[in-house]
Chains A and B, each alone.
Chain A
Amino acid sequence: MPHGTEGASVTFVMDTSFWTATVIFLLAYALIISEKVHKTVIAIFGAALMLVLKILHQHEAFHMEEYGVDWNVIFLLISMMVIINLMRPTGIFEYIAVKSAKAGKGDPFRIMVVFAIVTAVLSALLDNVTTVLLITPVTLLIADALDVDPIPYLISCALASNIGGTATLIGDPPNIMIASKARLNFMDFIYHLTPVVLVLMVFYILAIKIIWGKKLVTRDELKARIMSMNEKEAIKDPVMLKKSLFVLGVVLTGFVFHGMLHFQPATVALFGAGLLLLLSNTHEPHHVLAEVEWPTIFFFMGLFIIVGGVVKVGLIKWMSLEVLKITQGNLFATSMVVMWFSAFASAIVDNIPYVATMNPLIIDMAKQLWPDFSGLQLLHHVDLMPLWWSLALGACLGGNGSAIGASANVIVVGMSEKTGKRISFMKFVAYGMPIMVMTVAVSTVYVWVRYYILKI
């Protein structure tokens, strides 16, 4: 037991349950990567195995934050989905998209830039998947109107949404998960991540200028098609639109102040969802609730339990010790390793299971480093904070690295198939990987300068 002796808090042994849990965890990961079985099915079955084989007690899985389902994440996701499902039929997203195309004056590249910015902002405030689902149809329509290749627009939409989603607590699932585990609030993300995302967007726009700037051309008479569109026709339900915007305003304000008011983000979102359901006068909440992406929700729940199992048996602690050995306790080196490893890992694996694993790993690492600290003192240790931001940046931006790196990418690839011009895996990588490397490189400089040189 060479690892059992390091650090005072190490109390695990590599017994049968250690190996059982480890095998379930590794098999689940392998199956998720192989895509042979639907990831949600794997997560549910893996979680059930953790319980049946008595790695975890049901009470631990259902009611304990350390080993079980993180209900803060679950309810935040469900509530935001409900709000968006109620907003969608109003036509607001089509309105914004058509308005953006007109703001681009019908010029194909300018439209691409405006779409990238709008997609990034919407991804930051809502979530990437919804944004991409709502924006891409309009993108395809505009591309047909201008008689230009829709593929660059689709790829750009996914890339911009992954960059934009990095900016806020609610923008991307990794951030939601990190916020909950590390007890960080909405304004922490605004303060630490939004500035770098703004810089990243500038770099991104320069990059797409180089990649597609000259290739996207159209004829003047086709631009007139865009300019003659009347975005107001998109609004289907002005009354519900006003209610939705009001509730969205309440929710966003709630997020800004939730730290101060001592509310969890899920409380704010749940209040918004409840309020909008009430205001919508719906007698059929059934279909609004049915449209919640239950497979995603159950994927999260299953993963939390699977990861809880390997946390309990000590696998994660063992991994954290190994990481510390490699970086020899140097926190700058650790945060760089975390950021770059997270980026490449998220490009290959779904970033949700990845972050579910990394969160407890970082907490275990912190426990090794500062055995006398606990609670918020430990989670928000000044030397630990850059690690959280590195994890968030790596895991979110890494999503751009491949066609399966993020749900948004999977959606645009699916859309491209329907247009008859499939974006191949390698084609996506050819654009996504350089963008990922560029954005992570800029983030590296940001973390290094901000937290290790300026220390602010």
Chain B
Amino acid sequence: MKAKDIMEPVKEYLSPDDTLKEAVNKMRVCRKDDKRVGVKGMLVLDKDRRLLGILSIKDILHTIVPFYLSSTLSEFTWDGMLENMAGKYADRLIKDIMTKEIISVPENAPLMECADFVVRHNLQRLPVLNEQNQVIGIIYIRDIYYALVKTLFDEKEVCE
């Protein structure tokens, strides 16, 4: 199997000019099939569906934790500081806070390549690109795992 065989389609994504608040809303109401699920990260694409970055909830938290806090200063924070900072940074643009160095795979990448990237770089998701460098899907760590499950047990066994 190849990347394109297990990838999921990318229906919703973020624009680089969205604000943090807009992004949080899109991620909160993201739909999968017909259910509202919410996601822990979303791709950031341009008009031509080219990959610009990924915004994860960790990137969002990273944005609102002030850079000046260090291991020696985190004790000196106060109740309500996180809420204040969330308000203060709500208008930051996604292009300024997203993770820009993204590892992606071509649509014909073997699953082992996908698994290797996920393990080696501690990734949760891998965008899948076509030859024009457009995003055509996304593979989550669980998708690769399910492929492995299917190899060890045939369909019937899985059902049981």
The answer to whether B67 touches A94, judged by C-beta atoms less than 8 angstroms apart, is no
> Which residues of A have CB within 8 Å of B70?
137
| Nearest opposing residue in chain B for A142, CB measure | B76
> Which residues of A have CB within 8 Å of B73?
94, 137-138, 141, 234
Residues of chain B at the chain A interface (Cβ within 8 Å): 66-73, 75-78, 81, 84
With beta carbons under 8 angstroms apart, the residue of B66, B68, B75 that contacts A234 is B75
> CB of A228 within 8 A of chain B?
yes
> CB of A291 within 8 A of chain B?
no
Could you tell me the distance between the alpha carbons of A125 and B84 in the complex, rounded to whole angstroms? Answer: 37
Could you tell me the distance between the alpha carbons of A229 and B84 in the complex, rounded to whole angstroms? Answer: 18
The answer to whether A98 touches B68, judged by C-beta atoms less than 8 angstroms apart, is no
The answer to whether A91 touches B72, judged by C-beta atoms less than 8 angstroms apart, is yes
Instruction: Give chain A interface residues in 69-116, CB to chain B under 8 Å.
Output: 89, 91, 94, 98
> Which residues of A have CB within 8 Å of B81?
144-145
> Which residues of B have CB within 8 Å of A136?
68
Could you tell me the distance between the alpha carbons of A98 and B71 in the complex, rounded to whole angstroms? Answer: 15
The answer to whether B78 touches A137, judged by C-beta atoms less than 8 angstroms apart, is no
Could you tell me the distance between the alpha carbons of A137 and B65 in the complex, rounded to whole angstroms? Answer: 13
> CB of A233 within 8 A of chain B?
yes
Residues of chain A at the chain B interface (Cβ within 8 Å): 89, 91, 94, 98, 136-138, 140-141, 144-145, 225, 228-230, 233-234, 236, 415, 418-419
> Which residues of B have CB within 8 Å of A415?
68
Minimum C-beta distance from B90 to chain A (A)? 13
Could you tell me the distance between the alpha carbons of A155 and B146 in the complex, rounded to whole angstroms? Answer: 57
Instruction: Identify 17 residue pairs between A and B in the complex whose beta-carbon atoms are under 8 Å apart, listed by A's number.
Output: A94-B72, A94-B73, A98-B76, A138-B73, A140-B68, A141-B73, A141-B76, A144-B66, A145-B78, A145-B81, A228-B78, A230-B75, A234-B73, A234-B75, A415-B68, A418-B67, A419-B67
Additional A-B contact list (6), CB under 8 Å, known A141-B68, A228-B78, A418-B68: A137-B70, A140-B68, A141-B77, A230-B75, A233-B76, A234-B76
Could you tell me the distance between the alpha carbons of A234 and B71 in the complex, rounded to whole angstroms? Answer: 9
> Which residues of B have CB within 8 Å of A91?
72
Minimum C-beta distance from B86 to chain A (A)? 13
> Which residues of A have CB within 8 Å of B69?
137, 141
> Which residues of B have CB within 8 Å of A145?
78, 81
Could you tell me the distance between the alpha carbons of A141 and B78 in the complex, rounded to whole angstroms? Answer: 10
Minimum C-beta distance from A236 to chain B (A)? 6
The answer to whether A141 touches B66, judged by C-beta atoms less than 8 angstroms apart, is yes
The answer to whether B68 touches A225, judged by C-beta atoms less than 8 angstroms apart, is no
